[in-house]
Amino acid sequence: MTSQLVDALPEQAIAIKAEATDWRHAVTLAGDALVASGATTDAYTEAMLAAIDELGPYIVIAPGLALAHARPSEAVLHTGLSWVSLAEPVEFGHASNDPVTLVLGLAAPDHDGHLEIMSALAGILADPERMSRLEHANSAEHVRELLTEFTTDPLG
């Protein structure tokens, strides 16, 4: 599980203090990072936006956190994760979890391939101290270092 999470999030899939004009731009940045890492094609980014257009801001899963994703498709080349911290918070239209400061992009080629990654990520994101450290990370390398630390020492 440890290496899967970090392996799914290469440095080119991480943007720190990105500028986004609105939620569509923020999700597009997360999609662009998935494309840059080789995990998806641009069609996956379009599918993420279409899902939000259809279903609303369901991807805003916790205060300040959006998990952008779409159904598995041919646009997913391999399981991948992107990490976009925003310079300024963005409103997604969620009643209780807006505004968003972190957009994670998730791509999986099937319905089960990402479960271990999500399990590891959920444990980290649920810990306020660890989230604070991640929010203050100032580089892609630093995000990956912290995730490695947190997944090698899940209790500490």
Contact (Cβ atoms closer than 8 angstroms) between residue 95 and residue 59:
no
Residue-by-residue pLDDT tens, the chain, 156 positions: 346 788 889 999 999 999 999 999 999 999 999 999 999 999 999 999 999 999 999 999 989 999 999 999 999 999 999 999 999 999 999 999 999 999 999 999 887 767 778 888 888 888 889 988 998 899 999 999 999 888 876 554
Contact call for residues 60 and 100 (beta carbons, < 8 A)? yes
Q: DSSP secondary structure string, 8-65? A: TS-GGGEEEEE--SSHHHHHHHHHHHHHHTTSB-HHHHHHHHHHHHHH-STTEEETTE
pTM of the predicted structure, to 2 decimals: 0.91
For the annotated catalytic residues, the residue numbers are: 69
pLDDT of 2 reads 44
Write down the domain spans for the chain: 2-152
CATH, domain range 2-152: 3.40.930.10
